[in-house]
Amino acid sequence: MRFTVAAVQAAPVYLNLAASLAKAETLIAQAAAQGAKLVVFPETWLPGYPAWLDSCRDVNRWDSVAVKQVYRRLADNSVVVPGPVTEALGAAARAHGVILNMSVHERVDAGPGRGTLYNTMLLFGDDGTLLHVHRKLMPTYTERLIWGQGDGQSLQATATPLGRMGGLICWEHWMPPARQRLHESGEDVHVAAWPHVKEMNLLASRHYAFEGRCFVVAAGALMAVRDLPAGLEPLLELQADPDALLLRGGSAIIGPDGTILAGPIFDEEIILTAEIDLARIREEQMALDVTGHYARPDIFGPL
């Protein structure tokens, strides 16, 4: 089966959910016009990755008024799943006949965990159905200030008309059991969602493709200094040029032998596309199949 996949490399309207959703709808239409049947967005694209956690000092200082106000804005602009935003995303996927992978800040508004934010990946079918929800298992370092931990029940690929699709978020790609769980679920296409795909993130994405014998769409976003939340200016580590990029994109599409099929592209908004052929997966499994002839379950069983 051959089809075109797209990694959307763009900046959202940071901490503005309504404006970011409108931009997403436009970008989905543009990707579909380029022939894409799978459209992938970067980590927490709605309403933007919290790069201020790394770019500003003292964000972990107890009782910081400025940081608490930014967190409130983030929570107010996060996505309830399911809810009006997921309905709009599903409608966009259906209208353009694409499978859509969108990463968001999720806010729980009812029941256990009410008020908690999660780093969440959403997969929509081309009929608009919300097929899969994955919450990041372990927020990394300062990310633990804002996100809860996922429960891991979502570590599985999902059947779609274009093959089995799965995904991991950022540093989940450095978690061997998480990778193996997804490999065992039979991924054909893997989404690697990153804030931006810097060198080590590209290395992880290529390794994942080679190890899992699957195609990988590695999506990274753009963010300029001017996009940092208002009120944090005094906490900036460097008084940089407002146009300087904190997140530089670097999106890439990778084949099941680790070969880069498209990208990486840095420092510009682009919809990166490549045609993939799922038959290539079987060819590469001849040499390595970590869930088949290379698995050795007789050795690597439960401890």
Residue in this structure with the two tokens 């106000």, named with its chain if needed: 69
Is the confidence at residue 303, as pLDDT, over 60? no
Distance CA(219)–CA(7), nearest Å, equals: 5
Lowest-confidence region among 146-160, 181-195, 223-237: 223-237
Cis, bond preceding 176 (omega within 30 deg of 0): no
Q: What percent of the chain has pLDDT over 70?
A: 94
Answer yes or no: 143 catalytic. Answer: no
Distance CA(26)–CA(241), nearest Å, equals: 29
**57-60 own/partner pairs: CB under 8 Å, 24+ apart:** 57/235, 57/236, 57/237, 58/235, 59/142, 59/145, 59/235, 60/142, 60/145
Range of the domain at 149: 2-285
Beta strands in the chain (DSSP E): 2-9, 36-40, 99-107, 117-124, 130-135, 158-160, 163-169, 189-193, 215-219, 222-224, 245-254, 260-266, 270-277
* Residue 302 forms part of a structural domain: no
Number of domains making up the chain: 1
* Residue 296 forms part of a structural domain: no
pLDDT at 239: 58
DSSP string for residues in 154-222: T-S-EEETTEEEEEEEGGGGG-HHHHHHHHHTT-SEEEEE-SS--HHHHHHHHHHHHHHTSEEEEE--E
* Residue 142 forms part of a structural domain: yes
Is the confidence at residue 28, as pLDDT, over 80? yes
pLDDT at 295: 87
CATH number, domain of 27, equals 3.60.110.10
* Residue 197 forms part of a structural domain: yes
* Residue 102 forms part of a structural domain: yes
Q: Give per-residue pLDDT as tens, 80-124.
A: 999 999 999 999 999 999 999 999 999 999 888 889 999 999 999
pLDDT at 4: 98
Which residue of the set 43, 143, 187, 284 is catalytic? 43
* Residue 152 forms part of a structural domain: yes
Average pLDDT over residues 224-252: 80
* Residue 85 forms part of a structural domain: yes
CA-wise closest residue to 136 among 122, 152, 123: 152
Q: Output the average pLDDT for the chain.
A: 93
- Band of pLDDT at residue 70, cut at 50, 70 and 90: confident
Q: Give per-residue pLDDT as tens, 177-226.
A: 999 999 999 999 999 999 999 999 999 999 999 999 999 999 999 999 88
Distance CA(248)–CA(257), nearest Å, equals: 26
